[in-house]
Amino acid sequence: MLRSLYLKNFVLIDEANLDFTEGFSVFTGETGAGKSILIDAIGLLCGDRLTVDTIRKSADKMIVEGAFEIRSDIARKILDDNGFSEDEVTVISRELTLEGKSVNRCNGRIVPVSFLRELGPAMVDIHSQHDTQYLLNVKYHRTLLDQFGRHDELMATTAATYKAYDRLQKEYDELLQTSLNPDDLGFLRYQIDEIDGAELKIGEDDELETQQKTMMAFEKISSRLNSAIEYLEDDGGILTKFYEVQKMVEGIKEMEEVQAISKDLDEIYYALQDKSETLKEIHGRLYFDEGELNRIQDRLFMITKLKRKYGRKIADILDRKTEFQQKIDRIENRSEVLDRLQKQIDEAKLVFLQQASMLREARTVDARKLCVDIKKQLDSLSLTNAEFQIILSEANPSSYGIDNVEFLVSMNKGEDPKPLVKVASGGELSRLMLGLKVIFSRLQGIETVIFDEIDSGVSGRVASAIGIKMHDLSKSAQVFAVTHLGQVAACGDAHYLVAKNSDALRTHTLITRLDVEGRIDALAAIASGTMSETARQAARELLEHHQERISTP
């Protein structure tokens, strides 16, 4: 949920620091006051495009910063996957200069806007009159139904069986279209012979490169080994000196402590002597054969050439050889391979259809349950004559199964159900979308839901129903609503007034959280445009009535 929002030089706002709580927050104000500025700012935190026209006039930089408390598993996973620890609060900020330079940060770390666009929708769902497309669009209806049903394991199995079937079908189609071209066979055999002729062994390239480095550094290695041996074994060398030291200490027999050291020195002396012998053995094995070096370099050159043609590693080259041989087998034994593939396709398709049928049965049950839930939502929004239907029809096989899903609605008794996009009344559509939002926002685990004037075209009893429904949604998610209706505003747990004022030089937008008396004044202004005692008394009664309704279980 959004805990706080800081704005500086944003549109008409000089500076604002707003704190939010759980529940239902409403934002009201006169037309043109800039009520949607808040929504625009939150949209920027979710990855919306920055434009320099959002920078306040005479300012050189704009800042938007939000502090979010993350509870959603999806949002938490996105943060974890991008290396962010489980902080109590996640702070996202965006800055933009007049020159068009921008910086995006998450908990102080610079992040790309693509990260915000991934994280934002997992935290915030912004819904306006113009942002209902995914609910109206039939191509999303199957996804919404599946979110309601939560048959993740069945869906995953269906997708896996389809991919197995589809892979075999594509292999069959590819082979069916492959012509018997002698040149193709000849080239495949040439490639196999080239790889076979190299007699490659996995790991030999690493071994050869090590040998090459050693031989090319022969003189340096030989010189250093020889010097080390001389330092150890020459007259007056380390071994001689160490031996003399050990004997001196050994002669001090009067002190047990010194005798213990003598034994340690004795062990060290023989260890040094042993290492010296090993160094002499290594030095004795060293040799430089220019012909051998040339052979190694030629071999490495040939391996590198094959890598460029067939793969980055020797294992990849050998895999390509197997692939070429399989292609030859498929071409030479085309009929037999096609028959075998067809049998595998039939078996894989049967398994897929069994899974897809089980998924269809589950979706059919889910559709009935979802229709019942949506009907309850519509009834509570004064759409008692509306009937909601979900139609499952045959679809081409895919990883999603064999179903098309479409939501239909009839708003009046006796009317045939129609696609949602054909609902004519703006007020009816807003209420329908709100009912769907209540259900699907809960399923999607969205923590903050924002409604931007979706209550246009309604009034009176319907407006009250919308306000109560938004408050109901706020029991499971933080809800913000920009509204011009007093009935909706009266249902808020918190009420913010967005007001515009001007001085001699500039116009300013201020956002203020109202106390009870301030709410009454704001509701009176919405209803009648006056602050008369009659208007204030009506506003007080409106507020008390709706606060009583939302507090009743």
Amino acid sitting at position 403: D
Amino acid sitting at position 366: D
Chain centroid offset of residue 302 CA: 44
Residue among 101, 6, 86, 100 at smallest CA distance from 45: 6
CATH 3.40.50.300 residue ranges in the chain? 1-129+445-513
The answer to whether 261 and 247 have CB atoms below 8 angstroms apart is no
Sign of the dihedral through C-alpha 136, 137, 141, 143:
negative
**Would you tell me how many other CB atoms lie within 10 Å of the CB of residue 493?**
15
- The DSSP-derived string for 305-329 is HHHHHH-SSHHHHHHHHHHHHHHHH
Burial of 323 (0-12, 13-18, 19+ CB in 10 A): middle
Percent of the chain with pLDDT over 90: 57
pLDDT of res. 300: 95
Taking only the tens place, the pLDDT of each residue in 347-364 is: 999 999 999 999 999 999
Q: How far apart are CA 37 and CA 11, in angstroms?
A: 8
Domain 1-129+445-513: top CATH class: alpha beta
**How much is the pTM?**
0.65
pLDDT (mean) for 97-111: 94
Q: How far apart are CA 45 and CA 49, in angstroms?
A: 10
pLDDT of res. 441: 80
pLDDT band at 216 (very low <50, low <70, confident <90, very high): confident
Taking only the tens place, the pLDDT of each residue in 232-255 is: 988 888 988 888 888 898 888 888
Q: How far apart are CA 92 and CA 87, in angstroms?
A: 13
Amino acid sitting at position 387: E
Mean of the per-residue pLDDT values for the chain? Answer: 89
Q: How far apart are CA 85 and CA 76, in angstroms?
A: 9
Taking only the tens place, the pLDDT of each residue in 395-405 is: 999 999 999 99
